[in-house]
Amino acid sequence: MKHLQVDLKNALSFVNQDDFNKYESFAKEQNEKITNKTGKGNDFLGWVDLPNNISQKHLDDINDTAKALKEKSEFIVVIGIGGSYLGAKAVIEALSGQFEYLRSNKENPHILFAGQNLSEDYHFELLEFLRDKKYSVIVISKSGTTTEPAIAFRLFRKDLENRFGKEEASKRIVAITDASKGALRNLTDQENYKSFIIDDDIGGRYSVLTPVGLLPIACAGFNIIEMVNGAKEMMHIAETNFDGNPVFQYASIRHLFYTKNKIIEILANYDQRLNFMAEWWKQLYGESEGKENKGIFPASVSFTTDLHSLGQYVQEGLRNIFETVISVEKTRFNLNIPDDKDNFDKLNYLAGKPIDFVNKMAELGTTIAHVDGDVPNIKIILPEISEFYIGELIYFFEKACAISGYLLDVNPFDQPGVEAYKKNMFALLEKPGFEEETKKIKKRIE
């Protein structure tokens, strides 16, 4: 069976092989800190063995809950932000038929998201759209106190209660939160919502293989058991395969580039279904590495679309970037370029060829051009976009991210910088308990 692989052919030509070998052994050392739980943030390592620890009973509970919600709903609104949103959104977008949402006779409810921003218009329009629709809500907040999802949940809870009555509304709501702490936990216990717990030792951005990701993904009709199997497989590969270990290869080469002032990593895909995987990846790496004035800035592009926009910069802009391409080997469908006897568009040289053949040549041509333009290229080869391989990809990125954080000597599991905007926002909103901050900030903006 094929597995995710890393191809460093167009990356190693930019570095000295001995340096790479050195960094690969550093990566192995950092991995031991994860295994032995001796590194920074070691109380947040619950995700490491998670694929092996998920019981069939737990997966059945998630699938049964999804089934009950699906029976009641044409739409399911998933409320959450950051790590409580991006994983589910990324996986659902990667696995879904791209025009499925336009079908009227859908087999599974369409998954919509709320509380991932503070846009009044977004939430107004969503409530308006759902006015005559049957829908349910999955509210996700580990802390149970995050402002964006809390506001959205108040709106949608009230809407459900007004439309269906309190008792039926409570059957249309599933909460995913802490076992004992936070406002969402209190409300959940009080209203008797079905709930799932996010373990203390799993941070938001590492939580996609918990009910945080798995319940919305199951509601969208995807096979979460296969996804967990893929993650399990990558967990095994990452632990046992020391020669050509894709996790160590990726973590070490990107860190080596960073030491050579290549401080921006651009994650590229040639299949736009992976666009939101890139958003999830940006959060994972940005929030894990960007601290103490250190870290690679994670950016993303979708090719060939963006070759006609950001492609110019990648080719000829500042040379502080490297590129990581998620290259998907096999398409889901086959569509060949038709023959045309008039050949007005001069495309007959491609007649009979699959569109993906052109896409692959665009990818190869772009890689060569970027390498010539001094942009190193790391290639992550994914056999296909399926539940299993998305599971492999998720675990691969999580493990490599933790190792990368340790290579930088930061705690990859905290996010102290996220509090700065919250503190100012609460001061400006005059939240009770922020009286001193309110006085100070008002002076600054007078």
Query: Looking at 24, 279, 287, 392, which residue is catalytic?
Result: 287
Contact flag: residue 298 with ligand PA5 (CB under 6 A) = no
Q: Which is nearer to ligand PA5, 203 or 298 (CB)?
A: 203
Stretch near ligand PA5 under the rule CB under 6 A, chosen from 77-85, 246-254, 380-388, 420-428: 77-85
Give kind and range of the element (H or E) at residue 414. Answer: none
Measured from the CB atom, is 44 or 388 closer to ligand PA5?
44
- Is residue 146 involved in binding ligand PA5 (CB under 6 A)? yes
Contact between residue 431 and residue 423 where contact means Cβ atoms under 8 Å apart: no
User: Beta strand 264-269 with 173-177: parallel, antiparallel or unpaired?
Assistant: unpaired
Amino acid occupying residue 127: L
Cβ at position 156, least distance to ligand PA5 in Å: 15
Read off the DSSP letter of residue 296.
Answer: P
- CA contacts within 13 A on the Cβ side of 223: 10
Give the contacts of 281 (CB within 8 A, at least 6 positions apart).
Answer: 267, 298, 300, 397
Residue 291 interacting with ligand PA5 (CB under 6 A): no
Q: Is 308 part of the annotated catalytic residue set?
A: yes
- Single out the residue of 260, 222, 238 nearest to residue 95, CA to CA: 222
- State yes or no: residue 143 binds ligand PA5 (CB under 6 A): yes
**Tokens encoding 308:** 């006609």
323 binds ligand PA5 (CB under 6 A): no
Contacts of 264 (CB under 8 A, 6+ apart): 296, 297, 299, 320, 321, 322
Query: Under the criterion CB under 6 A, does residue 287 sit at the interface with ligand PA5?
Result: yes
- Interatomic CA distance for residues 224 and 107, integer angstroms: 17
Is residue 39 close enough to count as binding ligand PA5 by CB under 6 A?
no
| CB of residue 143 to ligand PA5, shortest distance in Å | 3
Q: Minimal distance in Å, beta carbon 149 to ligand PA5? A: 6
Token representation of residue 138: 């999955």
Amino acid 342 reads D
* One of 30, 84, 210, 300 touching ligand PA5 (CB under 6 A): 84
Smaller CB distance to ligand PA5: residue 142 or 255?
142
Tokens of 260: 């050579």
In Å, how far from its chain's centre is CA 286?
12
Amino acid occupying residue 115: G
Catalytic entry in 353, 422, 439, 442: 422
| Contact assessment for residue 230 and residue 391, using Cβ atoms and an 8 Å cutoff | yes
What's the closest the beta carbon of residue 287 comes to ligand PA5, in angstroms? 6
Say whether residue 188 binds ligand PA5 (CB under 6 A): no
Residue 81 interacts with ligand PA5 (CB under 6 A): yes or no: yes
* Per-residue tokens: 4: 């995710």
Respond yes or no: is residue 440 known to be catalytic.
Answer: no
Q: Indicate the residue among 119 and 162 with the shorter CB distance to ligand PA5.
A: 119
204 contributes a contact to ligand PA5 by CB under 6 A: yes
Residue closer to ligand PA5 (CB basis): 30 or 116: 116
Asked if 147 touches ligand PA5 (CB under 6 A), the answer is no
What's the rounded Cα separation, in Å, for the pair 437 and 180?
A: 29
Nearer to ligand PA5, 51 or 213 (CB): 213
What the block records as the tokens of 154 is 């108040």
For 109: left if phi > 0, alpha if psi spans -120 to 50, otherwise beta; the answer is: beta
CA distance linking residue 391 with residue 415, whole number of Å: 25
Return the range that interacts with ligand PA5 (CB under 6 A); candidates 16-24, 138-146, 224-232, 242-250.
138-146
The verdict on whether 287 is a catalytic residue reads yes
Is 117 within 8 Å of 413 (Cβ atoms)? no
Q: Which stretch binds ligand PA5 (CB under 6 A): 130-138, 142-150, 187-195, 262-270?
A: 142-150
Of 308, 341, 346, 443, the catalytic one is 308
Decide: is 141 part of the binding site for ligand PA5 (CB under 6 A).
yes
By CB under 6 A, residue 195 contacts ligand PA5: no
Interface with ligand PA5 (CB under 6 A), residue from 41, 83, 87, 391: 83
Task: Give residues in contact with ligand PA5 (CB under 6 A).
Answer: 81-84, 141-143, 146, 149, 203-205, 287, 415
Name the residues annotated as catalytic.
Answer: 287, 308, 422
